[in-house]
Amino acid sequence: MLKFLRDEKGNLLVVAVVLLFSILGFASMAIDMGCLLTAKNQLQSAVDASALSGASGLLISQSEAVLRSAAIGGMNTCLNQPVVLGSENVDFPTTSQVRVRVEQPVPLYFAKIMGIHSVRVAASAVAEIGTIVGTNGMRPWAIPDMKWTHGTSVMLKSGALGAPATNPSFFYAVDFPPLNNGDPVPGAKTYEGNIINGSSCTVSIGDELLVEPGNMVGPTNHGVDVLLNMDPYADWDGTQVVKSLYPGTSSPRIVKIPLYDPNYPPDSGKNSLTVVGLASFFVTGVHHGTVKGIFMEKITSGRIGSGNSMLKGVRLVL
């Protein structure tokens, strides 16, 4: 025995074996921990997307929220395995919130040596639907807030004198950006481009918009014709947009427009108005400078807050 202990070659062999098993143990832990962290991240992304989609469904009903949550959740994977998410994984902390909670078994590799074959990974998310009080992509019209109901036909731009809450030189056309956020850019070319593409600037409740005087019949007709041809088969069936080339409410013909108080129309000349609300409409047509649309609710991106806005947005809160 003493001879063995004094044999350096034997000692080195024992130490090497111990170190080898230690390294293999740490390596196995690292691999299994890496799998668990990857699974956690993928599962969290899945429930985040599921909760956000469910919150958008609250615009219709809680049943629709559950359907959307389950549909989006099932489109995701966790370590190449489908995420199992059903109605039992969805609940509602408040009337404006959706919570999604999921557990998924994650198979282990080296931990099987110790009899641990899998670990359950959990993830949860809460998303809410709220009121959008500031957003971009606005079309260059501002109309009086008449408290419409869903599906009401509305004049978005007047082509003749005498429109509600107007003066003799105002036909609902406005310039961007707001006076309080920059220098408004007037002119027919910019106006027509904003009809087709929407403005890149943000418009918020409380902003001041410069009125664009004049009827602008030619730019209005051409701009709206281009807009209509982007989704030529889209139609309104009495409750929603149908036959659209675009999914959901992403048709370019669904536009966002600022609102002003009909009791305080702009004065004659190149004056301004105050934005008191935001709304969305499905553009149905144009005739001699008069643009018509259907009032509808829409989920969009932007700043969520409180105010008189018919636009809604969703965000993660937990």
pLDDT tens digit sequence for 92-124: 999 999 999 999 888 776 556 555 667 889 999
What mean pLDDT value characterizes the chain?
89
pLDDT(269) > 80: no
Q: Are residues 288 and 255 in the same domain?
A: yes
Task: Please name the helix (run of DSSP H) or strand (run of DSSP E) that holds residue 33, with its range, or none.
Answer: helix 8-57
Structural domain range at position 56: 2-129
User: How sure is the predictor about 33, in pLDDT bands with cuts at 50, 70 and 90?
Assistant: confident
Q: Are residues 294 and 194 in the same domain?
A: yes
Q: Is 257 within 8 Å of 156 (Cβ atoms)?
A: yes
HSE toward the beta carbon, residue 12, CA cutoff 13 A:
3
pLDDT(80) > 90: no
Q: Is 198 within 8 Å of 138 (Cβ atoms)?
A: yes
Q: Is 139 within 8 Å of 195 (Cβ atoms)?
A: yes
Q: Are residues 145 and 287 in the same domain?
A: yes
Q: What pLDDT is attached to residue 13?
A: 56
Round to whole Å and give the CA distance between 262 and 98.
Answer: 36
Residue 33 lies in a domain: yes
Q: Which of 23-27, 211-215, 272-276 has the lowest mean pLDDT?
A: 23-27
Region 76-105: mean pLDDT is 92
DSSP-derived secondary structure for 196-263: HH--SS-EETT-EEEE--S--HHHHHHHHHHHHHTSTT-EE-SSSEES-SSSTT--TTEEEEEEE-TT
Residue 264 lies in a domain: yes
| 292 strand-pairing partners | 155, 285
Q: What pLDDT is attached to residue 20?
A: 47
Q: Which amino acid type is present at position 222?
A: H
Residue 309 lies in a domain: no
Q: Are residues 155 and 257 in the same domain?
A: yes
Q: Are residues 149 and 270 in the same domain?
A: yes
The string of pLDDT tens digits covering residues 184-203 is 999 999 999 999 999 999 99
